Amino acid sequence: MAITSFFSAKRVLFFILFVILVLIGKNINFSPLVGAENQFFTLFQFFGPTAGALLGPIVGIITVAFSQIADHLIIGKEWTFINILRFLPMLFAAYYFGTKKKSMSIIIPLLCITIFLIHPIGRTVWFFPLFWLIPILGILLPNHAPGKLLFRSLGATFTAHAVGGAIWIWTIPMTAGQWVSLIPVVAYERILFALGIAGSYLLLNTVLDYVVEKWKISIPNILFMEKKYSLVVFLKKYLS
């Protein structure tokens, strides 16, 4: 594929729109990170992984990485080792949400569990990384299974959590008690993030499908719309 075809005007426009959404989302705080001062989960957690599905896992990772770096530069955040590592969880989440390859989606959480359990504190809270088996369940469910999108969304957000948790335990001093106290918080936050990812993906697919149907505008080949997650048929029925 020619580079001019790959970087078509429509693709560049979608890329810019997604970056703008990320810049807005990353500046709307949702909840603080335990163990780190002035660090927060943001609105970005509710839609970031969808880039992996709409753009494909590789282009999605590039888009998410560029967006995070742009935000980092704009707000002038310090380029510390831990801040750079914090880019990784959403990159892996975007890959998980967009990929069809089951092997990597299984290997990543298993590797994170191993890294966590090698740590002396991690071994005392061995049950904490059981959360990270959820991405394996999400990727193994057949595509036609009821609730597949929700499990896929849970898998994406818990992949981000797995990567973040494996990094966190080795870089941020925390007691076993602090990790245990996080269990209900993690469950609450990740369910909300998964609902946000599933909802935003439904919305984006619906908008794209509506644009195609209403204005007969072709979407670039790089946008992998899933019509089964479009609400256009429902909207036609009840809003026409």
Q: Over 90: is that where the pLDDT of 218 sits?
A: no
Rounded to whole angstroms, the maximal C-alpha distance in the chain is 61
Place of tokens 């909802």: 199
Give the mean pLDDT of 165-180.
Answer: 94
100 or 33: which carries more pLDDT confidence? 100
Q: Which of 156, 151, 123 is nearest to 50 (CA)?
A: 156
- For the stretch 84-133, pLDDT in tens is 888 999 999 999 999 988 898 999 999 999 999 999 999 999 999 999 99
Q: Which of 35, 22, 38, 49 is nearest to 77 (CA)?
A: 38
pLDDT averaged over every residue in the chain: 85
Contact 63, 48 (CB under 8 A): no
* Distances from the Cα of 181 to the Cα of 128, 190, 214, angstroms: 10, 15, 50
pTM over 0.75: yes
Q: Which of 198, 17, 190 is nearest to 97 (CA)?
A: 198
DSSP conformational letter for 33: P
Q: Which of 201, 103, 107 is nearest to 152 (CA)?
A: 201
pLDDT in the model for residue 60: 87
Token pair of 212 as six digits? 């195609």
- For the stretch 142-162, pLDDT in tens is 878 878 999 999 999 999 999
Q: Over 70: is that where the pLDDT of 34 sits?
A: no
pLDDT in the model for residue 1: 45
Q: Over 70: is that where the pLDDT of 35 sits?
A: no
Q: Any idea what the Cα angle at residue 98 is, between residues 15 and 104, rounded to 5°?
A: 130
> Assign residue 35 a region: left if phi > 0, alpha if psi is -120 to 50, beta otherwise?
left
Q: Over 50: is that where the pLDDT of 2 sits?
A: no
Contact 43, 90 (CB under 8 A): no
Residue 85's Cβ-count burial label (10 Å; 0-12, 13-18, 19+) is middle
Q: Which of 235, 227, 224 is nearest to 53 (CA)?
A: 224
Round to whole Å and give the CA distance between 222 and 62.
13
DSSP conformational letter for 119: S
pLDDT in the model for residue 147: 87
